[in-house]
Every structure is written in structure tokens, then in C-alpha cells.
Amino acid sequence: MSGIVLAVASGGTYAGTVAVADHVNNAVSQDDLLGDGAGSRHGSAVTGPVDVLLAGSDLRKSWKAGGEKPRTDTIMWLHIPASHDQAYLLSIPRDLEVNIPLNKRTGQGGYATKINAAFTFGMKDVNDVKGGMQNLHTTLKELTGENFSMAAMVNWDGFKAITAELGGVTLCVDKTFTSTQPSLGGHTFEKGCRHYDADMALALVRERYAYTDSDYSRQRMQQQFIKQILKQATSKGTLSDPTKMDRVLKAAGKALTMDLNGYTVVDLALAMRKITSDKITTLQVAHQSLGDGNESLQQPVDDQLFKAMRNDDMDNFLLSHPELVSKGTGLGK
């Protein structure tokens, strides 16, 4: 998720020459993640609202050897209004029970289960990122009514590389807690704001068992991370150092696969250059527990939310539903 932010930030800064623009555009691999073809080539000016499907894979290097398929425990809808001067970032709960359509390529799906299985059901093998993302897109189209215009997939190994190249990231913890991540050996995260290295930041954004509201606190931490990465990537210390920015771009390139619908990274960067971290509104769906570890939407409010995102009417919608704006910096309750 952070990768698209980094690509946009760097693209807007280093697009001054054709050679540099080509370097930025070629840094991140692109593929047909949405299943709508390679993307039509249009003018370089990005017009109208932009809706991006963001997904984070839990794939580990060790899984590739064994062939275990990853899931997408992080799923987000990034809506950028036609004004291109702000953004809305909506997290989709991993445990949300939805209908996952039958995938004819893999023969999987065709019933209701947790939405994080949609990616796995679309994969023929552990390397089939395109198939997984296309199936996730199909599932989300059925759920939300949105036909996404762009997409980005990032894996956790790439997450660490990006964060490391930025020199870590500052994150705020609302409440002292002991991590359940095995790699940390019971480390206690203290309440307050601190600068964390890549390993500690990864542990924070993956944590959910330490919270009473589980995945919803994790969603808030991941949203906070994206905003902080944007803030750090667009800071003078990063952008004024071409060598450092180049290393960040290379890390993003290894972590990211994107579908920009025929636009280049620089096209997108120049269009979105007014969006800063404080202009991103983070959101969560209205939800309720089904009592079996799964979650469901609350209607009619979630259908109204999805309609407002589709119709570029979020300012008016949030006047009536301010409770859907994510509360807290990361952890809660």
C-alpha cells in the first residue's frame, strides 16, 4: 500500500527530464491486476475521480519453496476525488464474510467465506499474483459496486525493504501492549510516539491478537503507517537526496506490482502532487460480529458509504456519518 505512495511522491519530484521520468516509470513493475486488459493508452493528464484497489500479501519467502499460497489480510479502497487534492482511505476487514464468485480458472469459490480468501482462490500457484488480484477485484466489485480504475499489490518483504530505505518510520501507539509476534519474543510496545526500524514497524502493522477489537485496531495502525510513509517520503530530507530516493524507488520496485490503467507513474504523480498526509481521511466500515469469527456489514449505512465513494460524494456522506472516520492513531480499546 505504501509503495504506490512512494512511487507517486518520487515521480512528482524527479520528473524533470525524459531520462529521469523513464527511470521512475520503469522502477515499478506493472501488470493487468484488474482483469480489464493491459490498460488503454490515453493522454498523460489524469482526469476525474481515481479509485485504487490496494492489497497487502502475507507471502513469506519460505512459502515460495513450499508452494503455500498467500492471503490478503490488508485490503483497502483508496478514493481520490476529481479535484485530486485529497483522498479517502477505506479499510475492508479481512474477516468480512462475503460471497466469493466461482473462479473458472482455478475452480475455487462460489460460496460465502472471509474476503481474504478471494486472493488465494484466484491463484493457480504461489507466484500467480495477477490471478489473485483479479479475483479479489471481482469479489470487491460484487460487494461494493465499484469497478476500480487502478490497483497495487505489496508484499511484506517489500514492506520491510521500503521502510528500511526510509530509515524507519515514526508511529504512535495509543496503549501499552505486549506483542504476540513470534519474532519479537514478547516485546512490549509503550504508549506514545516513537521512531521504529523496519522490523519493529512490520510487527506493529501485523499485530491484531493483542487488541480487544482485533483487526480493526490493526487497520488503524496500517492506515497510520501509510500516512506516515507519505509524510516521510515527501520530506525535504528524502526528496532532496536523489541517491536516497533512488534506493527507495528500487525497494518499492521489488515490493510492488501495479496496474495504472495505461497511465505512467509520473502521470499519476503529477496529478496527485497536492495530496499530503494530512489530506488523507482514513475510514472503516460499519460492522458487526457474526459470532463465528466472521464479520458482516451493517446496512444500509455501508451501501450508502460505497455509493458515496463511487459517486465522489464523500464530503456530504461524512456529515451524516462522522463515526466511520477511523478514531485513534493506531491501537484502541
Res 17: pLDDT = 46
Q: Give the model's pLDDT for residue 22.
A: 66
Q: What does the pLDDT look like over 103-155, one tens digit per residue?
A: 999 999 999 999 999 999 999 988 898 999 999 999 999 999 999 999 998 87
**CATH class (in words) of the domain with range 2-167+241-324:** alpha beta
The CA-atom distances, in angstroms, between 233 and each of 11, 198, 245, 259 are 11, 15, 8, 21
How high is the pLDDT of residue 92?
Answer: 94
Decide: 93 and 287 in contact? Cβ < 8 Å. yes
String of DSSP letters for 164-195: HHTT-EEEEESS-EE---GGGTSPEEPSEEEE
Q: Determine the distance from the C-alpha atom of residue 301 to the mean position of all C-alpha atoms in its chain, rounded to a whole number.
A: 23
For residue 43, what pLDDT is reported? 67
Kindly report, residue by residue over 226-263, the tens digit of the pLDDT.
888 888 777 756 666 777 777 777 777 777 888 988 88
Query: Which pLDDT does position 107 carry in this prediction?
Result: 96
Low-confidence stretches of the chain (pLDDT beneath 70): 1-24, 38-43, 58-68, 157, 212, 214, 236-240, 328-333
Quick one: pLDDT at residue 268?
A: 83
Closest CA to 140 of 184, 75, 86, 206: 75
Domain boundaries, the chain: 2-167+241-324
Report d(CA 306, CA 310) in Å as an integer: 6
pLDDT for the residue 11 = 46
pLDDT at 98: 95
Per-residue model confidence (pLDDT) at position 14: 47
